[in-house]
Structure 1
Protein backbone atom coordinates (compact mmCIF):
# COMPACT_ATOMS: atom_id res chain seq x y z
CA UNK A 1 0.00 0.00 0.00
CA UNK A 2 1.39 3.40 -0.97
CA UNK A 3 -0.29 5.23 1.90
CA UNK A 4 -0.96 3.91 5.37
CA UNK A 5 -4.48 3.42 6.71
CA UNK A 6 -3.82 6.34 9.06
CA UNK A 7 -2.96 8.65 6.13
CA UNK A 8 -6.15 7.66 4.29
CA UNK A 9 -8.28 8.22 7.40
CA UNK A 10 -6.55 11.55 7.98
CA UNK A 11 -6.92 12.84 4.42
CA UNK A 12 -10.50 11.71 3.89
CA UNK A 13 -11.76 12.91 7.26
CA UNK A 14 -9.97 16.26 6.86
CA UNK A 15 -11.44 16.90 3.41
CA UNK A 16 -14.88 15.48 4.24
CA UNK A 17 -15.37 17.56 7.38
CA UNK A 18 -14.03 20.68 5.64
CA UNK A 19 -16.35 20.15 2.68
CA UNK A 20 -19.35 19.72 4.97
CA UNK A 21 -18.53 22.87 6.97
CA UNK A 22 -17.83 24.94 3.86
CA UNK A 23 -21.00 23.74 2.13
CA UNK A 24 -23.25 24.58 5.07
CA UNK A 25 -21.63 27.93 5.92
CA UNK A 26 -21.63 29.22 2.33
CA UNK A 27 -25.19 28.00 1.82
CA UNK A 28 -26.31 29.88 4.92
CA UNK A 29 -24.29 33.04 4.18
CA UNK A 30 -25.42 33.39 0.58
CA UNK A 31 -28.86 31.82 0.96
CA UNK A 32 -28.06 29.37 -1.80
CA UNK A 33 -28.86 25.68 -2.11
CA UNK A 34 -26.38 23.25 -0.55
CA UNK A 35 -26.13 21.52 -3.94
CA UNK A 36 -24.54 24.68 -5.35
CA UNK A 37 -22.23 25.44 -2.43
CA UNK A 38 -21.33 21.76 -2.06
CA UNK A 39 -20.46 21.55 -5.76
CA UNK A 40 -18.33 24.67 -5.40
CA UNK A 41 -16.55 23.20 -2.37
CA UNK A 42 -15.95 19.89 -4.14
CA UNK A 43 -14.67 21.66 -7.25
CA UNK A 44 -12.31 23.77 -5.15
CA UNK A 45 -11.02 20.69 -3.31
CA UNK A 46 -10.35 18.86 -6.59
CA UNK A 47 -8.70 21.93 -8.12
CA UNK A 48 -6.56 22.32 -5.01
CA UNK A 49 -5.33 18.72 -5.20
CA UNK A 50 -4.45 18.97 -8.90
CA UNK A 51 -2.89 22.42 -8.46
CA UNK A 52 -0.84 21.02 -5.56
CA UNK A 53 0.54 18.22 -7.75
CA UNK A 54 1.23 20.49 -10.74
CA UNK A 55 2.70 23.36 -8.74
CA UNK A 56 4.97 21.18 -6.62
CA UNK A 57 6.21 19.32 -9.69
CA UNK A 58 7.06 22.58 -11.46
CA UNK A 59 8.50 24.16 -8.32
CA UNK A 60 10.78 21.18 -7.68
CA UNK A 61 12.03 21.30 -11.29
CA UNK A 62 12.75 25.03 -10.95
CA UNK A 63 14.33 24.43 -7.56
CA UNK A 64 16.64 21.81 -9.10
CA UNK A 65 17.44 23.94 -12.14
CA UNK A 66 18.35 26.95 -9.98
CA UNK A 67 20.02 24.72 -7.36
CA UNK A 68 18.03 26.32 -4.55
CA UNK A 69 18.44 25.23 -0.95
CA UNK A 70 15.18 24.62 0.92
CA UNK A 71 15.59 27.31 3.51
CA UNK A 72 12.99 29.60 4.99
CA UNK A 73 12.98 32.00 2.02
CA UNK A 74 12.44 29.23 -0.51
CA UNK A 75 9.58 27.92 1.65
CA UNK A 76 8.06 31.41 1.86
CA UNK A 77 8.30 31.83 -1.93
CA UNK A 78 6.84 28.35 -2.37
CA UNK A 79 3.86 29.13 -0.11
CA UNK A 80 3.19 32.52 -1.72
CA UNK A 81 3.39 31.03 -5.20
CA UNK A 82 1.12 28.14 -4.30
CA UNK A 83 -1.55 30.24 -2.61
CA UNK A 84 -1.30 32.98 -5.25
CA UNK A 85 -1.79 30.45 -8.04
CA UNK A 86 -4.69 28.86 -6.22
CA UNK A 87 -6.32 32.29 -5.76
CA UNK A 88 -5.84 32.97 -9.47
CA UNK A 89 -7.77 29.79 -10.23
CA UNK A 90 -10.40 29.87 -7.49
CA UNK A 91 -11.48 33.53 -7.45
CA UNK A 92 -13.15 33.40 -10.90
CA UNK A 93 -14.85 30.12 -9.92
CA UNK A 94 -16.19 31.67 -6.71
CA UNK A 95 -17.28 34.84 -8.52
CA UNK A 96 -19.15 32.86 -11.16
CA UNK A 97 -20.71 30.30 -8.80
CA UNK A 98 -21.88 32.76 -6.16
CA UNK A 99 -22.58 35.64 -8.57
CA UNK A 100 -20.06 37.97 -6.92
CA UNK A 101 -17.88 40.69 -8.40
CA UNK A 102 -14.12 40.09 -8.51
CA UNK A 103 -13.28 42.05 -5.35
CA UNK A 104 -15.93 40.31 -3.23
CA UNK A 105 -14.90 36.91 -4.60
CA UNK A 106 -11.27 37.70 -3.74
CA UNK A 107 -12.18 38.80 -0.22
CA UNK A 108 -14.32 35.69 0.26
CA UNK A 109 -11.52 33.44 -0.99
CA UNK A 110 -9.00 35.07 1.36
CA UNK A 111 -11.50 34.72 4.22
CA UNK A 112 -12.06 31.05 3.39
CA UNK A 113 -8.29 30.49 3.30
CA UNK A 114 -7.88 32.09 6.74
CA UNK A 115 -10.74 30.01 8.13
CA UNK A 116 -9.16 26.87 6.67
CA UNK A 117 -5.95 27.79 8.49
CA UNK A 118 -7.84 27.78 11.80
CA UNK A 119 -9.76 24.63 10.83
CA UNK A 120 -6.50 22.87 9.95
CA UNK A 121 -4.99 23.69 13.34
CA UNK A 122 -8.08 22.46 15.21
CA UNK A 123 -8.44 19.35 13.04
CA UNK A 124 -4.78 18.38 13.45
CA UNK A 125 -4.96 18.86 17.21
CA UNK A 126 -8.11 16.73 17.47
CA UNK A 127 -6.66 14.10 15.15
CA UNK A 128 -3.55 13.85 17.33
CA UNK A 129 -5.72 13.34 20.44
CA UNK A 130 -7.85 10.68 18.73
CA UNK A 131 -4.77 8.98 17.31
CA UNK A 132 -3.18 8.73 20.76
CA UNK A 133 -6.42 7.50 22.34
CA UNK A 134 -7.22 4.86 19.71
CA UNK A 135 -3.70 4.10 18.46
CA UNK A 136 -4.45 4.44 14.76
CA UNK A 137 -0.84 3.56 14.05
CA UNK A 138 0.57 3.15 10.56
CA UNK A 139 -1.45 0.16 9.38
Structure 2
Protein backbone atom coordinates (compact mmCIF):
# COMPACT_ATOMS: atom_id res chain seq x y z
CA UNK A 1 0.00 0.00 0.00
CA UNK A 2 0.99 3.62 -0.30
CA UNK A 3 2.69 5.36 2.60
CA UNK A 4 1.06 8.19 4.53
CA UNK A 5 3.52 10.65 2.94
CA UNK A 6 2.60 9.42 -0.55
CA UNK A 7 -1.13 9.65 0.22
CA UNK A 8 -0.64 13.22 1.42
CA UNK A 9 1.27 14.17 -1.77
CA UNK A 10 -1.46 12.50 -3.86
CA UNK A 11 -4.21 14.44 -2.12
CA UNK A 12 -2.51 17.85 -2.15
CA UNK A 13 -1.57 17.63 -5.84
CA UNK A 14 -5.08 16.47 -6.74
CA UNK A 15 -6.72 19.36 -4.92
CA UNK A 16 -4.34 22.06 -6.15
CA UNK A 17 -4.74 21.05 -9.79
CA UNK A 18 -8.49 20.73 -9.28
CA UNK A 19 -8.78 24.20 -7.71
CA UNK A 20 -6.83 25.86 -10.50
CA UNK A 21 -9.11 24.21 -13.05
CA UNK A 22 -12.56 24.29 -11.46
CA UNK A 23 -12.63 27.73 -9.77
CA UNK A 24 -12.66 29.85 -12.93
CA UNK A 25 -14.91 27.32 -14.66
CA UNK A 26 -17.46 27.43 -11.81
CA UNK A 27 -17.40 31.23 -11.62
CA UNK A 28 -18.10 31.42 -15.35
CA UNK A 29 -20.85 28.78 -15.46
CA UNK A 30 -22.63 29.95 -12.30
CA UNK A 31 -22.09 33.64 -13.05
CA UNK A 32 -20.78 34.18 -9.52
CA UNK A 33 -17.92 36.24 -8.16
CA UNK A 34 -14.55 34.47 -8.48
CA UNK A 35 -13.73 35.30 -4.83
CA UNK A 36 -16.97 33.75 -3.55
CA UNK A 37 -16.50 30.65 -5.70
CA UNK A 38 -12.82 30.49 -4.75
CA UNK A 39 -13.61 30.56 -1.03
CA UNK A 40 -16.21 27.81 -1.48
CA UNK A 41 -13.79 25.80 -3.62
CA UNK A 42 -11.07 26.04 -0.97
CA UNK A 43 -13.50 24.97 1.79
CA UNK A 44 -14.71 22.04 -0.28
CA UNK A 45 -11.12 21.21 -1.18
CA UNK A 46 -10.17 20.96 2.49
CA UNK A 47 -13.16 18.69 3.11
CA UNK A 48 -12.26 16.68 0.03
CA UNK A 49 -8.66 16.22 1.17
CA UNK A 50 -9.74 14.81 4.51
CA UNK A 51 -12.40 12.65 2.87
CA UNK A 52 -9.97 11.54 0.14
CA UNK A 53 -7.38 10.35 2.63
CA UNK A 54 -9.87 8.31 4.65
CA UNK A 55 -11.75 7.03 1.58
CA UNK A 56 -8.60 5.87 -0.25
CA UNK A 57 -7.24 4.18 2.85
CA UNK A 58 -10.55 2.35 3.35
CA UNK A 59 -10.67 1.41 -0.35
CA UNK A 60 -7.16 -0.08 -0.21
CA UNK A 61 -7.96 -2.00 2.97
CA UNK A 62 -11.12 -3.36 1.32
CA UNK A 63 -9.03 -4.58 -1.63
CA UNK A 64 -6.60 -6.31 0.74
CA UNK A 65 -9.48 -7.96 2.65
CA UNK A 66 -10.85 -9.23 -0.68
CA UNK A 67 -7.43 -10.64 -1.55
CA UNK A 68 -6.89 -8.24 -4.46
CA UNK A 69 -3.52 -6.56 -5.03
CA UNK A 70 -3.69 -2.83 -4.37
CA UNK A 71 -1.31 -2.05 -7.23
CA UNK A 72 -3.52 -3.57 -9.96
CA UNK A 73 -6.47 -1.35 -10.84
CA UNK A 74 -8.29 -2.12 -14.06
CA UNK A 75 -10.40 0.64 -15.67
CA UNK A 76 -13.68 -0.64 -14.16
CA UNK A 77 -12.16 -0.46 -10.66
CA UNK A 78 -10.88 3.07 -11.24
CA UNK A 79 -14.35 4.10 -12.43
CA UNK A 80 -16.02 2.51 -9.38
CA UNK A 81 -13.51 4.19 -7.07
CA UNK A 82 -14.19 7.62 -8.63
CA UNK A 83 -17.99 7.25 -8.54
CA UNK A 84 -18.05 6.09 -4.90
CA UNK A 85 -15.75 8.90 -3.81
CA UNK A 86 -17.74 11.60 -5.62
CA UNK A 87 -21.03 10.31 -4.17
CA UNK A 88 -19.54 10.38 -0.67
CA UNK A 89 -18.17 13.89 -1.13
CA UNK A 90 -21.44 15.14 -2.61
CA UNK A 91 -23.38 14.01 0.46
CA UNK A 92 -20.98 16.02 2.60
CA UNK A 93 -20.87 19.18 0.45
CA UNK A 94 -24.47 19.54 -0.73
CA UNK A 95 -25.73 21.56 2.26
CA UNK A 96 -22.60 23.75 2.19
CA UNK A 97 -23.03 24.60 -1.50
CA UNK A 98 -26.72 25.43 -0.98
CA UNK A 99 -25.98 27.69 1.98
CA UNK A 100 -22.90 29.45 0.57
CA UNK A 101 -24.37 30.14 -2.86
CA UNK A 102 -27.85 30.88 -1.47
CA UNK A 103 -29.49 28.12 -3.52
CA UNK A 104 -32.21 25.61 -2.89
CA UNK A 105 -31.05 22.07 -2.22
CA UNK A 106 -32.28 21.12 -5.73
CA UNK A 107 -30.22 23.89 -7.35
CA UNK A 108 -27.23 22.92 -5.23
CA UNK A 109 -27.72 19.29 -6.23
CA UNK A 110 -27.73 20.24 -9.93
CA UNK A 111 -24.59 22.32 -9.37
CA UNK A 112 -22.91 19.53 -7.40
CA UNK A 113 -23.81 16.93 -10.05
CA UNK A 114 -22.30 19.06 -12.81
CA UNK A 115 -19.03 19.46 -11.00
CA UNK A 116 -19.05 15.86 -9.76
CA UNK A 117 -19.17 14.81 -13.41
CA UNK A 118 -16.16 17.03 -14.08
CA UNK A 119 -14.32 15.57 -11.09
CA UNK A 120 -15.19 12.00 -12.08
CA UNK A 121 -13.31 12.43 -15.34
CA UNK A 122 -10.57 14.44 -13.63
CA UNK A 123 -10.12 11.83 -10.86
CA UNK A 124 -9.89 8.99 -13.36
CA UNK A 125 -7.20 10.73 -15.43
CA UNK A 126 -5.36 12.13 -12.40
CA UNK A 127 -5.16 8.78 -10.59
CA UNK A 128 -4.01 6.98 -13.73
CA UNK A 129 -1.29 9.60 -14.28
CA UNK A 130 -0.30 9.62 -10.60
CA UNK A 131 0.15 5.84 -10.61
CA UNK A 132 2.40 6.18 -13.67
CA UNK A 133 4.53 8.96 -12.16
CA UNK A 134 4.56 7.53 -8.61
CA UNK A 135 4.05 3.74 -8.99
CA UNK A 136 3.08 1.57 -6.05
CA UNK A 137 5.40 -1.23 -4.95
CA UNK A 138 4.75 -4.37 -7.00
CA UNK A 139 4.49 -6.61 -3.95
CA UNK A 140 2.12 -5.95 -1.09
CA UNK A 141 3.24 -7.22 2.28
CA UNK A 142 0.46 -8.05 4.65
CA UNK A 143 1.26 -8.37 8.32
CA UNK A 144 0.06 -11.53 9.96
CA UNK A 145 -2.05 -9.40 12.30
CA UNK A 146 -3.85 -7.81 9.32
CA UNK A 147 -5.04 -11.16 7.89
TM-score range for the pair, normalised by the shorter chain length: 0.5 to 0.7
Distance 1:116 1:93 in 2: 18
TM-score (norm 2): 0.58
- Cross-structure match for 2:97: 94
1:57/1:137 Cα in 2 relative to 1: closer, same or farther (>3 Å)? closer
Query: Residue 37 of structure 1 corresponds to which residue in structure 2?
Result: 37
TM-score, structure 1 normalization: 0.61
Q: 1:110 aligns with which of 89, 113, 117?
A: 113
Q: What residue number does 1:84 align with?
A: 87
Whether the 8 Å CA contact 1:92–1:102 is kept in 2: the answer is: yes
Q: Which ranges of structure 2 fall in alignment gaps of 5 or more residues?
A: 69-73, 136-147
Higher relative helix content: 1
Give 5+ residue unaligned stretches, structure 1. Answer: none
The alignment partner of 1:99 has SS state of coil
**Matched length:** 123
